[in-house]
Chain A
Amino acid sequence: MEVDLIVGLEIHVQLKTKTKMFCSCKSDYFEKNPNTNVCPVCLGLPGALPRLNRESLVQAIKVGRALNFEINEKSRFDRKNYMYPDLFKGYQITQFEFPINTNGYINLSSGKRINIYRAHLEEDTAKSLHEKDCTLLDANKAGMPLLEIVSSPELTSKEEAKEYAQKIYNIVKFIDASDCDMEKGQMRFDINVNLNIKEKEKEFRTPIVEIKNLNSFRSLERAIEYEQERQLEEFMEKRIVLEKGNKVTRGWNDTLGKTIFQRNKEESDDYRYFPDPDIPPISLDSDFINKALDKIDILPQDALDKLISEYKLPKESAEFLTEDKIFYNLFSDISKKYTNYSTLANWIITDVLGIINQSGSDINCLNKGKFVEILNAIDDKKISVQSGKEILKESILNKDFNVSENINSSLLVSDDSILDNTIKKIIDENSDLVEKYLSGKEGVLSFLIGQVLKEMKGRADPNVVKEKLLLFIKK
């Protein structure tokens, strides 16, 4: 028996705008008091009418470009009819027949292309809080602009699904179309999962299961893994195969690590889409599209290519720096003043981000000019790498830290007699170790170097110390 997994992903991304999609309520609703960021439009009051936010369209076009979509000059908005308490008008304004973006794709690291059917605009619903005896609704996020990115069901493992989702996350964030903060619900996944089972030259498809509102990469992976096993078990037991109308919605319970049956998707899902008469069609000329595209300063793929071919960075470093636009911007800004690119990349990846992650501080605490000053001091052999790292750390953690002064007080000792005397002193104090070294235990050398550096308070170049140490020992 052969079992193949089939997964399709619908990713909802909250687009970055100042206001909601169809009204002028603000988009920074997070943690505001309930129903204080509302108006007749997003509350769906009788008589209220929508007016499209230009910026939501601009952001959709940017994503369209970054995910290799055809950006359609003609598109329109439709009403999707269904009644649910969090949907105030009883219909959602979305794009059905003529979406803004169609036929996109991205490539996974394996080289496999994942086709993406469409990426269309739609409005978000209100937030529901389920209490014991009632549900409480907050419309602060109702009407926020969403882009729904619908992949074709070509993902064949949980790893592929995760990589696909991660890539979309990186790309959308890189072009600043969304902050993609999953804790704030700015990126959510709906998955469609089923299995293709080959058994004694016969093929079966299990019913498609839809799992909605996954809000982390981890839960995405776990839900697929769980569903893969569950569907196989269910098939072995009941032999139910995919038919028209037996699609099922299940919910993911993160605590239990299980999916739980919610409902059958039957006739209740006749959404009766039709063009929204309140919103005239969209007809874009190349000028509008180009202006939107001008807001992307560089696509992540182009940034990667540039780092490899122009800056000659190793692939791994280049990939790391293009995962997040902030890293890339940091690198490209500093590279204008400091041209030892691979050293710069290493320092950013290992040291700058290391310090930031460890201390939990913000990347903006890094002063780029001071950073270059430190790197130059090391290159000019004024200070040791060790001192440089310490000064960098202090300068990130304390904005008043005086970098120039500390470089000056950490200068490598240029007077040979001081270093010579220190080395002699260490050799004298550790005569037993020197013996060991001479008898062939070369490992003790690094300890001796360390002792010298410690005595010199970092103001000596380890390579010079090593050279001299060997010279003196052999004397």
Chain B
Amino acid sequence: MNISDLRKKLDSKEISAQEIFDEYFKKAEEENKKINCFININKEYSKKRLSKENNSILSNIPGVIKDNISIKDTITTAGSRMLEKYKSPYTASVVLNLKDFMLIGKGNMDSFAFGSSTENSGFGVTKNPLDLTRVAGGSSGGVSAAIASKLALFGIGTDTGGSVRQPASFCGVVGLKPTYGLCSRFGLIAMGSSFDVPGIITQNVKDAAIVLNEIAGYDVNDSTSVNIGKKDYTGLKKINKCKVGILKFPEEGLDKEVLEGFSSSVNLLKSMGMDIVEIDMKYIKYSLSVYYVIVPSEISANMSRYDGIRFGYHPEESFSVLDDFYKESRDKFEDEVKRRIMIGTFTLSQGYYDAYYNKAMKVRNLIKQEFIDTFKDIDFLVSPTTPTLPFHIGEKTKSPLSMYLSDIFTVPANVVGYPAISIPDKKFGDLFSGLQIIAKPFEEERLLSFANMMEEKLWK
């Protein structure tokens, strides 16, 4: 079932909103027990909101929203016990754009989106529906698992360094990270503000295009939102000939399945008559370092509002020293949150700012320029989405760095703000490897057309 099919059934009254409601919530409640993909299931909320009219393309279409995206009068935890009881008094712009869709649940995630496996969630790990011993990826693991389990037709996540593409890849579904500035960040609980974007997770590329059509658009509430006018992303075209860059990367640390899947896709591209260019970039290899300096720096400031005074967790007892009150309140943060706040506090502190933050910003400028230059010669840049197949639960929790390295292919697109998509590349048993395609800024239309064509070639 895809969005267009369900839309037709709803419009022709072959199925009613109430029937969809009953079917999807029943399934969500059952499956959630197995895979823990929801922090909250919003049955009561959606019951009151069943739309009588079907006037938007997503009217009564089941969707899931990552739990760091604010929805008025619903609990929005960002995956942290810190916000266990926080009800947002307003709604994120992207959710407003979804109009009268049917909210199934709020997706589980790494606490404040800090992580690549949902193992850092304050509400327990999400299991990969393809193999329950493995992680679903992260940080949008809950949304990806829900889509893979067909608990909804689309999901909105957030992508700061791969948090939509990596879990989509791990769960064998489609994950789209739009250009920074195309979709509003207003109402997304900030992680790395200059990297964060709302992203889309669906079962296929066509559905991703339908959802992008709804959520893309200029928002005056987000100063980094770009006004490019309204575009239609759903008219997917056939792309006959284009230049595809293959990123040169060291094969060390990569699963052989990932390499195998990727090289067969490269061969497929060649057989399709695409112009293949091997790309060797000088600065791209610093992306992860840039990311792991700037993001924690931004995090350290973004997390300061969780002070126990206005919302979120706060201790009952009173303190005579203000700092003790803060420390007690903020002790509710999960370890990974504390770690990243501390890294960012360090990289911004006196005596270290120039060596870390300022340096990373300058290298970021170099990487951005390098992307501009590289994309003068190519239309798309392809690589695997992740270096490995989904890893086992607990496998990487001991070393945060090894976890960070799983973002190596996805991070560069966030460093430069380019759009990127992950589609299932090859199947190995129950698991999939993922293919990532990066395009020029604001060329989502071509990116989706190209991804749609690849999806058809690979899977039909």
Contact = CB atoms under 8 A, between A and B. Distances in A.
Interface string A42-54: 0111111111100
Given A88-B305, A88-B310, A90-B305, A47 B92 contact: yes
B345 interface: yes
A47 B88 contact: yes
Interface string B19-46: 0000000000000000000000000000
A93 B280 CA distance: 40
B86 A46 contact: yes
B186 A48 contact: yes
Interface string A78-98: 010101110011110000000
Contacts of A437: none
Contacts of B450: none
B353 interface: yes
A45 B89 contact: yes
B391 interface: no
Interface stretch (A227-235, A270-278, A351-359): A270-278
B413 interface: no
B301 A81 contact: yes
Contacts of A257: none
A185 interface: no
B300 A81 contact: yes
Interface in B218-233: 220-224
Contact of B70 (A47, A81, A274): A47
B223 A272 contact: no
Interface in A36-92: 40, 43-52, 79, 81, 83-85, 88-91
Contacts of A272: 300-301, 345, 348-350, 353
Nearest to A51: B223
B187 interface: yes
Interface of B is mostly: loop
B90 A91 contact: no
A81 B304 contact: yes
Nearest to B326: A83
B83 A91 contact: no
Interface stretch (B4-12, B189-197, B434-442): B189-197
Contacts of A274: 297, 301, 348, 353, 357
A40 B220 contact: no
Size bin of chain A's contact surface: 20 to 34
A437 to B, nearest CB: 82
A413 to B, nearest CB: 72
A45 B88 contact: yes
A46 B307 CA distance: 12
Contacts of B326: 83
A276 to B, nearest CB: 8
A244 B303 CA distance: 30
A79 B70 contact: no
Interface in B60-110: 68-70, 76, 78, 83, 86, 88-90, 92
A280 interface: yes
Contact of B193 (A90, A270, A273, A277): A277
B305 A49 contact: no
A48 B88 CA distance: 11
Contacts of B190: 46-47, 278
Nearest to B181: A280
A18 B248 CA distance: 55
Interface in B304-331: 304-305, 307, 309-311, 322, 326
A84 B88 CA distance: 23
A303 interface: no
B350 A51 contact: no
B298 interface: yes
Contacts of A426: none
A248 interface: no
Contacts of B187: 47-48
A270 B349 contact: yes
Contacts of B305: 44-46, 88-90
Kindly name the residue among B76, B83, B298 whose own CB sees the greatest number of chain A CB atoms within 10 A: B298
Given A43-B310, A44-B305, A83-B326, A50 B223 contact: yes
A157 B352 CA distance: 39
Nearest to B70: A47
Contacts of A91: 301, 304
A81 B348 contact: yes
Contacts of B349: 270, 272
Contacts of B192: 277
Contact of B223 (A44, A47, A52): A52
Contacts of A397: none
B284 interface: no
B83 A79 contact: no
A45 to B, nearest CB: 7
B188 interface: yes
B134 interface: no
B340 interface: no
Nearest to B312: A46
A49 B86 CA distance: 18
Q: Which 6 A-B pairs have the closest CB atoms?
A: A90-B304, A277-B194, A272-B348, A277-B193, A47-B187, A46-B189
10 contacts: A46-B76, A46-B86, A46-B311, A49-B223, A84-B322, A90-B307, A91-B301, A272-B301, A274-B353, A278-B193
